[in-house]
Amino acid sequence: HAGAIISGGKGTATEKMIALQEAGIHVVNTPAEIGEKMMEVLGKA
């Protein structure tokens, strides 16, 4: 999850989210946004 440590005890949740987005992974800010993001990704929004 976003709060997990990136490596060596360094890195913030925000930095991890940015790294995931830069890798092409869909990221949401809260669990409440997951359904909407899934619909968007699946082309049903």
- Give the span between the Cα atoms of 29 and 31, in whole angstroms: 7
User: SS3 of 10, please?
Assistant: strand
Q: Considering the candidates 1, 4, 24, 43, report the single residue annotated as catalytic.
A: 1
- Give the span between the Cα atoms of 44 and 20, in whole angstroms: 23
Residue 1 is among the residues annotated as catalytic for this protein: yes
Active site residues: 1
